Amino acid sequence: MVLVVDIGNTNIVAGVFKGDEILGSWRMVTRSEKTSDEYGIFLLNLLAYNKINYKQIKSVIVSSVVPDVMHSFENTMRRYFNIEPLVVGPGIKTGITIANSNPREVGADRIVGIVAAYEQYGGPLIVIDFGTATTYDVVNEKGEFKYGVTSPGIVISSEALWTKTAQLPKIEIKKPVSILGTSTITSMQAGLVYGYIGQVEYIVKKIKEELKNENIKVVATGGLGRLMSDETNAIDIYDPQLLLKGLKIIHDKNIDI
């Protein structure tokens, strides 16, 4: 079995694969102050609760955009699983080419998402990850990643409303019945959700226009990807486990177990 872990700015998502089958996946809050023991005990408890024997895990792959967490997490793998983790980074085999102006600036999560989408759905495509930031990554039919767009995530936008204003409350992010808000809360929800739907549709439209290709497939993932994909025809496929699948694909390109 293979343990795959994606460490994001907001959440850490982990999953266990047996062959190509994912046995389970779990999400925890990213905290840079957590120790390797805290991560270790948490993971062991999750695995035990799901009746997965941690001793059967033979390999681990990790992608991270939070350097402060990596020291503790790598020590977790060594101490509790007795495994040296494979870390997504320069020199690792991915099957795609980073062809933009500065490949080393590309986050590991973006690489992993691109790999999974390209391997499963082919190119050309646009990969949208609705995370702390929302990223739009363009991959051509040859598996080359050349272009990307980055915008504030919908949660960041929501937090800006209630933390940077004196009287606006913290709200649940959900689509209201109508864009015509009848209260402070529904007006905020309308602005956030309908506004974000508009952003997605316009950015996808402009990417297709500039590439002169209306047939580019659009694949979305991320915590709020379901909300967005349900509300717009600009997204063709929503895959909530895209990053976990991408980690397994990269693992298999680099390690035989």
Residue among 222, 224, 223, 221 at smallest CA distance from 189? 224
The pLDDT value recorded for residue 61 is: 96
Q: Quick count: other Cβ atoms within 10 Å of Cβ 125?
A: 22
Exactly one of 20, 37, 68, 109 is catalytic; which is it? 109
Closest CA to 110 of 253, 250, 224: 250
Distance CA 4, CA 60 (A): 6
Cβ contacts of 122 within 8 Å, gap of 6 or more: 141, 217
Instruction: State the pLDDT at residue 101.
Output: 67
| Distance separating alpha carbons of residues 184 and 169, to the nearest angstrom | 8
Is residue 30 within 8 A of residue 10, CB to CB? The reply is yes
Q: What is the mean pLDDT of each run of 10 residues along the chain (257 residues)?
A: 93 93 91 89 92 94 92 92 93 87 80 95 94 93 93 91 88 91 93 95 97 94 89 95 96 86
Q: Is 252 one of the catalytic residues?
A: no
The type of residue at 110 is R
Positive or negative, the Cα torsion across 223, 226, 232, 233?
positive
Query: What is the DSSP pairing of strand 125-130 with strand 217-221?
Result: parallel
Q: Is the dihedral of CA 73, 26, 66, 164 positive or negative?
A: negative
In the chain, helix, strand, coil percent, each to 5? 40, 25, 35
**H helix and E strand count, the chain:** 7, 11
- Sign of the dihedral defined by the CA atoms of residues 88, 93, 94, 97, in that order: positive
Give the alpha-carbon dihedral of 141, 145, 149, 152, to 10 degrees. 120
User: 21, 32 in Cβ contact below 8 A?
Assistant: no
| Each residue's pLDDT tens digit, 26-44 | 988 888 888 999 999 999 9
User: Model-level pTM?
Assistant: 0.90
What is the chain's mean pLDDT, rounded? Answer: 92
Domains of the chain: 2-87 (3.30.420.40), 97-242 (3.30.420.40)
Smallest Cα–Cα separation from 108: which of 247, 248, 254?
Answer: 247
